[in-house]
Amino acid sequence: MKRLSLLLIPVAGPAFAADGPFLSLRNTDFVVLIAFILFVALILKVKAPSRIMGLLDKRAAGIKSDLEEARALREEAQSILASYERKAREVQAQADAIVAAAKRDAQMVADQAKADLEVSITRRLKAAEDQIASAEASAIREVKDQAVSVAVAAAGEILAKQMSAADKSSAIDAAIAEVKTRLH
């Protein structure tokens, strides 16, 4: 007990520092003590602690509902984000499929164009060869016709110089008779 009193002496020091007896209205410490007790009694009478606790509970409930709402909004946002990410992956897969199909189509078109070009080149080469053969045959025919014409003209001149009038007349009659037999 002696120790306790020694510990309380520094705390009670201001109370002993006031003038006069402690239970006097002239002692400021006593007046402050009475005012404090009246203040605490007034607070307890108007039920301020229960009102404060009610306000604090109300505020805690509001904060709790705000937290629940925020949690629900967060979960909704996460589900929307997951949905958008899934849709983005689907769209990317579709885009990749479209690009792959376009590449395949382009390759097929290129292969078809190459085959068509080869066929066209072959056809043109064949047409050119046919034209060359036709031109060659035509040139040979013209040369032969020209040679025949020259030979007939030369033979005619030679025969005209060597034949007499009677021979010419009999040759014409023989030629007419031959034409008649060949035409009929």
Distance CA(1)–CA(48), nearest Å, equals 38
Distances (CA, A) of 32 to 45, 46, 109, 122: 20, 21, 103, 122
Q: Higher model confidence: residue 161 or residue 70?
A: 70
- The whole-number pLDDT of residue 174 equals 83
Q: What are the residue boundaries of the structural domains of the chain, listed by start?
A: 47-148
- The whole-number pLDDT of residue 142 equals 87
b/e for 135-166, b at 16 or more Cβ within 10 A?
A: eeeeeeeeeeeeeeeeeeeeeeeeeeeeeeee
Instruction: Using the predicted structure, report yes or no on whether residue 56 has a pLDDT greater than 60.
Output: yes
Q: Higher model confidence: residue 175 or residue 57?
A: 57
Query: CA triplet 16, 18, 20: central angle to 5 degrees?
Result: 95
Instruction: Using the predicted structure, report yes or no on whether residue 7 has a pLDDT greater than 70.
Output: no
Query: CA triplet 12, 17, 21: central angle to 5 degrees?
Result: 90
- The whole-number pLDDT of residue 67 equals 96
Q: What is the dihedral of CA 54, 59, 64, 65, to 10 degrees?
A: 100
Distance CA(114)–CA(90), nearest Å, equals 36
Minimum mean pLDDT range among 18-22, 83-87, 115-119: 18-22
Q: Give the confidence band of 8 by pLDDT, cuts at 50, 70, 90.
A: very low
Q: Tell me the pTM.
A: 0.39
pLDDT in tens, 58-106: 999 999 999 999 999 999 999 999 999 999 999 999 999 999 999 999 9
The tally of CA atoms less than 13 A away on the side-chain side of residue 176 is: 6
